[in-house]
Amino acid sequence: MEYVRPNANLMLRSAAQAYGGQVVGVVLSGLGRDAAEGCRAVRDAGGTVVVQDPATSDFPSMPAAAIATGGAHVVLPPKRIAAAIAELLAGGPRKSGAAPATATSILLVDDQRIIREGLRALPQSESDFAVVAEAEAEDGRGALRLEAELRPDVVVMDIGLPDLDGIAVTRRIVAGGSRARVVALSALSDTETVRQTLEAGAAAYLDKCGAFEELVTVIRRVVAGRELVGHHT
């Protein structure tokens, strides 16, 4: 007998239609975009979606797609997922009548691995942030490809990228009508570099020396719609 794997989108949509706000959907490590639209259906029905943090996934495509489509409510590493599900089932989804906050999806772009890892640790410590990709975003063209594929809320980007610099990448992201807010990072803080970066459309400019202390605060402020210029606010 041939086994056919059920379609995750269909399964989640059916559960959302049948059970509404009682549904708890869970998306773990996996390939492709299967389940992304189903997660959105669960969210729209008033249910809750728990997604594995893509940075902890062997195959991050599926959880990253769920976050990028706006379907995720809670983004957690694997060790915390079981406890979160138990808490949701014990208290009931949306117990207070208010929907959980949707995670802010973040793409990290820097050609230095140690810098990416350090920056990644900051938003990962926040329950409402999710780093959807970083390892492949080591140059400008890779950043453009991932931004187009994952549609993050925020792109944290080094200006001094190889192949295509961060100013040019920012300009293309903004010109393409993306929803992403660009937070630019640079070891340079001269007036001309800041000016060019902001004219390209960056929402914020941070000196790398202060990025580790300020990044979380700056991301929250640009998501709220405030334009920033790093230390020059």
pLDDT on residue 68: 78
Region 68-73: mean pLDDT is: 71
Work out how many domains the chain is built from and give that number: 2
Q: Is 144 in the same domain as 220?
A: yes
Q: Are residues 145 and 57 in the same domain?
A: no
Q: pLDDT tens digits for 38-57? A: 888 888 888 888 888 887 88
The residue out of 91, 116, 138 marking a domain boundary is: 91
pLDDT digits (tens, 9 = 90+) for 182-226: 999 888 778 888 889 999 999 999 887 766 678 888 888 888 876
What is the per-residue pLDDT for 58?
A: 87
**pLDDT for 216:** 85
Whether 1 is covered by a domain: the verdict is no
pLDDT at 232: 42
Q: Which of 25-29, 109-113, 115-119 has the highest mean pLDDT?
A: 25-29
Q: Exposure string (b/e) for 206-232, b if CB count within 10 Å is 16 or more?
A: bbbeebeebbeebbebbbeeeebbbee
Token pair of 47, please? 């249910």
27 shares its domain with 74: yes
Residues 83, 126: Cα–Cα separation, whole Å: 17
Q: Domain residues for 59?
A: 10-91
- Region 118-135 average pLDDT: 72
| Cα–Cα distance for residue pair 47/223, rounded to 1 Å | 24
Residues 135 and 31 in one domain: no
pTM for this entry: 0.60
Predicted confidence (pLDDT) at residue 18 exceeds the cutoff of 70: yes
131 domain-assigned: yes
Residue 121 lies in a domain: yes
Q: What is the pLDDT of residues 157-183, one digit of tens each?
A: 998 888 889 999 999 999 998 889 999
Mean pLDDT value across residues 77-82: 84
Partnered with residue 232 across adjacent β-strands are none
